[in-house]
Structure 1
Amino acid sequence: MDEFASTFIFFFAVIDPIGTVPVFLAVTAHYDRQLKRKIALQATAISAVILLFFIVVGELILTALGIPLSAFEVAGGVILFLFSLTMIFGDGKPEEELKLTHSSTEKAIFPLAIPSIASPGAILAAIMLTEKDRFHVTEQLQTAFIMLLVLVVVLILLLCASWIDKLIGKSGASVISRIMGIILSAVAITSILSGIKNYYGL
């Protein structure tokens, strides 16, 4: 149960469902309720396909390139750590990704599906948490299920975006994004230490 919760929190941090809400509101500001619902469903579905794709073939790609998983684990941890720092000290996910909407408001899937939901951090997490040498098929399926569960949370929040915006506002979403960044930074350091340990066989 603890492992289930930790994996859920990990994916929740890297996907950052609450931080996606202001981006969604900006992208769909001039659309009616029915179209907003359609965009939310499309963005979540596309994100699920992308992340499941990397769960299935991400490790195979690394193997074909001759990259050891321990090295990828360290690299992924470093990238996740840098990503977490931008969440903590930077503009924050909502403000940063809202800037992308100025040139692409007509394409609501961007920046929603990529890079807001299926972010680089989420892709790295999907690969690292389903390594075939470390996790059994059952565990990999469980991780995929947890990831999809987080995406269900994303969908629910997007469908309730207008209400959530009134409740917490952009400032509230920014605060939550920074808290998720702190959690993610600790997870990233753990990944780096684990990768170093596996590489040297400690």
Structure 2
Amino acid sequence: MLVDQTLLLTQFMTLLAVLDPISHTTLFLSVTDQLDKAGRRRVALIAIPLAFAVLVIFAVVGQFILEAMNISLISFQIAGGIIMFLFALLMVLGQTTKGSPDVHAETPESLAVYPVAVPIIAGPGAMLAMVILTDNNRLSFVEQVETVALLGVILLMMMGFFLAGDMVSRVMGRHGASVLRRVMGILLAALSISLIAEAMAQWLRLPPI
């Protein structure tokens, strides 16, 4: 039971660090700044379920695609850990992606699909995390369902932040969101190193770290 609780906590913290509801809320507000409150609400109600579906589908078929391409999950875990680590560095260093999409004449429905659902929420880091955390070779079906449930819980949290985005922005302020983003980046960096070390230990047949 203790092992199961530790696994659930690790998976929850990994998904929480990757999805980072607070930082995604700031991105959500910047993308939907031309919409009124009703428009932002519609974007949130469409984007969250869509992102959930994308991530679950990728978790189901992602490993089969890797097997079809003869890519081991250990290799994928190391590559995913490196990418997650680089993403974490960007979070810690406060780097942002230049060239945000033009959203000035977009409808709430189109914004919900792109860029909010994909790639802001269901981005490469989240997809990699779902494949790694639902490994068919390491986890049972029940444990995989638990991971999907954790994903649903975090996305529900994110929807709550999105719907209360204006209030969250006023409470935290610009500096508060920046500090939290860096803290989550440090946590994600540690988790990505753990993923790489675990894969290397399994590959080299070393004792668990």
TM-score of the aligned structures, taking structure 1 as reference length: 0.92
In the alignment, what sits opposite 1:170? 174
Structure 2: how far apart are the matches of 1:197 and 1:2?
A: 19
Structure 1 CA distance for aligned equivalents of residues 7 and 72 of structure 2: 25
Q: CA 1:83/1:199 → structure 2, altered by over 3 Å: closer, same or farther? A: same
1:142 aligns with 2:142: no
Instruction: Structure 2: give runs of 5+ residues left out of the alignment.
Output: none
Q: Is the 8 A contact 1:47 1:118 kept in 2?
A: yes
State how far apart, in whole Å, the 2-side matches of 1:116 and 1:171 are: 21
> Distance in 2 between the 1:193 and 1:80 partners?
13
Tell me how many residue pairs correspond in the alignment: 197
How many angstroms does 1:137 deviate by?
A: 0.5
Structure 2 CA distance for aligned equivalents of residues 201 and 48 of structure 1: 35
| 8 Å CA contact retained: 1:21, 1:157 | yes
Could you give the per-residue CA deviations for residues 49-90 of structure 1, whole angstroms, max 9, x where no partner exists?
110011100100000000011111111111111110011113
Give the distance between the partners of 2:7 and 2:26, measured in 1 at CA: 30
2:100 aligned residue: 100
Separation of aligned partners in 2, 1:152 and 1:98: 28
Asked whether the equivalents of residues 22 and 170 of structure 1 are also in contact (C-alpha less than 8 Å), the reply is no
- Other-structure match for 1:195: 199
8 Å CA contact 1:21, 1:158 repeated in 2? yes
User: Which of 45, 50, 59 is the matching residue for 1:46?
Assistant: 50
SS in 1 for 2:100: helix
Q: 1:177, 1:184 → 2: CA distance?
A: 10
Shift of the 162–99 alpha-carbon distance from structure 1 to 2, 3 Å rule, reads farther
Residue 132 of structure 1: aligned partner: 136
Q: 1:77 to 1:128 in 2, by over 3 A?
A: same
Question: 1:84-124 deviations in whole A, cap 9, x for unaligned?
Answer: 00111132xxxx258514x2342423331122211211111
| Residue pair 1:23, 1:97 contacting (<8 A) in 2 also | no
Retained in 2: the 8 A contact 1:40–1:158? Answer: yes
2:14–2:188 Cα contact (<8 Å) kept: yes
Q: Which moved more, 1:1-10 or 1:143-152?
A: 1-10
Q: Secondary structure at the match of 1:37?
A: helix
Unmatched runs of 5 consecutive residues or more in structure 1: none
**Partner Cα distance (2:115, 2:32) in 1:** 11
Identity %: 35
Q: Match of 1:100, SS?
A: coil
- The equivalent of 1:121 in structure 2 is 125
SS at match of 1:131: coil
CA–CA distance in structure 2, aligned partners of residues 3 and 200 of structure 1: 22
CA contact (8 A) 1:17 1:117 kept: no
The match for 1:26 is 30
What is the aligned partner in structure 1 of residue 67 from structure 2?
A: 63
User: Distance in 2 between the 1:112 and 1:170 partners?
Assistant: 20
TM-score for the superposition, normalised by structure 2: 0.89
Task: Say which of 79, 86, 95 aligns to 2:83.
Answer: 79
Distance, in Å, in 2 between the alignment partners of 1:119 and 1:12 is 14
